[in-house]
Structure formats: structure tokens, C-alpha cells
Amino acid sequence: MFGIKSDWSLEVKDRYFTLDDYCGVEPRWCTGCGDLGILTAMHKVCREAQLLPEKIVSVSGIGCSSRLPHYMGTYGFHGLHGRALPVACGIKSRRPDLDVWVATGDGDCFSIGAAHWVHALRYNMDITIIVFDNGIYGLTKKQTSPTTPEEYLTNTHPGGSLLPPLNPLTVTLGVTNVSFVAQMVDWNPPLLYETLKAAHDHKGTSFVRIIQRCPVYMEQRSLDLQNDPADLLLLKHDDGIPVPDTVQKMFKNQLEHNPYDLGAAFTVAANTEKIPLGLLYRNPNARRYDEMTRRGLNMTDEERLKGLNEALDKFAV
């Protein structure tokens, strides 16, 4: 083929991912479950950011919410009850290049996993924590969870809860070195997407509590909020969660809230009269433990062995 101009270079186009690239097996949550909306929003965040599926890891504990890793077309780890956060922190410490998401529930995180919840917030590693809070133990069939309202009758408390529910927002805001705290509902797709996007973009531990529908065991709780949004308080700020104009009109109660003011965040979170939606607190300057644990990852085996021997020598008698 002499004399014919030929260009044998192959242009490799950038990979483009669709929503299907982030989908795993078909979800088996109940019809009308809020988990479905959260999963869809998470898929959309990944698609819009064009995250590499092979660089994503979703980690969970036990519960309805914790089935999420099965529904992601990425790497995943379905762990033990309450232990999603230490697993996620361990992954991030050894593989800082991975995009780590944690799916946990009100029982999984706030009860058996409470100690891990507190310390993960303090470590402030670059992970995104999504709490699916439906106020009930759903997978084990209607037991009282830490966030079950007192007036709701459950199988473990048929006369109603004996104690007022835990306030996850005030607890989270009270942890040293916390850096991102937000709250949202699952039935507002535009705001849910913007909230998860902001959480994922934040460098540090993002804590997002999502008040989520359970149509089987806690249907009335979410129906009351959907039918009477006067109980909801939309938080607005230029550095908060972006609110489309069409969505803003849906909220009667709105508040200009500075997410950099920790004291103001406490005040908003502690108000039991209104449920705040949006970004309560952000501290981009909080120290990140994963920036410390990644030190030495590029060491050779010889360097690691030398360091280990030097450390052991200190105990020689």
C-alpha cells in the first residue's frame, strides 16, 4: 500500500459511564421503600461525576439499608452489624485512591455501631456516610430503634418507647473534628441528589442522615411529613445545599443558616419543633486521619522490614 497516506494511530476515547454501569443486581427492597430513591440518587451522583466503577467501594453493616452494596455495580463489602465504619476506614487507610461510601441504618449506626460512629467522625477520613433512618428495625420486623418516636408502638415496646428518641444531629455535631453534617428526606429527589453530591465533593467524612420511608412498619411517620411539610425547615446558604427555585417553593419554613457556625448548627439541630433539611455544618479545615495513614504506603518490603525491626529493637532488654 505504498503511496497511500495511512494513519495507524488509534484514538482512544475517554470512557463514558451510564447509570447502568453503577447498577448491580435488581434491588429487593419493599415497594415504596425510601431506600430505592437513595440508591437512585447515589447512582446519579456517580454518573454525573463519571467516577470509575472499579475505584468505588460501598461498605455496609446489617439491615435493610445494608443491602446496598449488592445493588451497586462496583466493589462492595457487606460487613457485620454495626461494623461498616471501621471497615470503611480500614479500606481508606490502605487504599486512599478508592472512593468509599458507607450505607448504614439507624439501628446499625446509632445502636450497636455507636462507638464506631463517633470515632469515624473524629477520624474525618475522606468517606461518605449515608444513614438510612426509617426510625425502626425493619429487617427484623418492627423493633424499637434509637430514633423511634415515643408514640409509635413496636413489637419490643407495644405501649410505646420508654425513652425519647436519640438526636443523631446533636450527637454528631458534638464530636471533635467533625467536618460535614447534613440532613435530608428521601422523597425529594432534587434535594437528595444535591445533598449527596455535596457530601461526596467534601474532602473529609461527610455524614448525611436521610429520613427515609418504611411503607411496611413506619408508614405514618413519613406520610405525616409529606402531607404537612410545615414540620420541615429548609436551610439555605450560598455555601449550603443548592436549592432549585422550583423546589424552594415547596417549603413554607426556610432559614438562612451559616453552615460554618457550629453554635448555630447546634441550635438548629436541637429544635425539636422543626426538622431541618440541608447542610448544618461544614469545616473544610478539620484534620483528616487518612492523610496520616497513607504515609509509608510506597515503602519497599525492605524498608518496611527495617522499620519493623527498629520498632521491635526498642523493646530489647
Q: What is the pLDDT of residues 39-62, one digit of tens each?
A: 999 999 999 999 999 999 999 999
- Helix (H) / strand (E) element for 199: namely helix 189-201
Helix (H, G, I), strand (E, B) or coil at 76: strand
**pLDDT the model gives residue 10:** 60
d(CA 281, CA 309): 44
Res 176 pLDDT > 70:
yes
Domains and CATH numbers, the chain: 19-288 (3.40.50.970)
**Residue indicated by cell numbers 523493646:** 315
Cell of 59: 461498605
Q: What is the pLDDT of residues 66-96, one digit of tens each?
A: 999 999 999 999 999 999 999 999 999 999 9
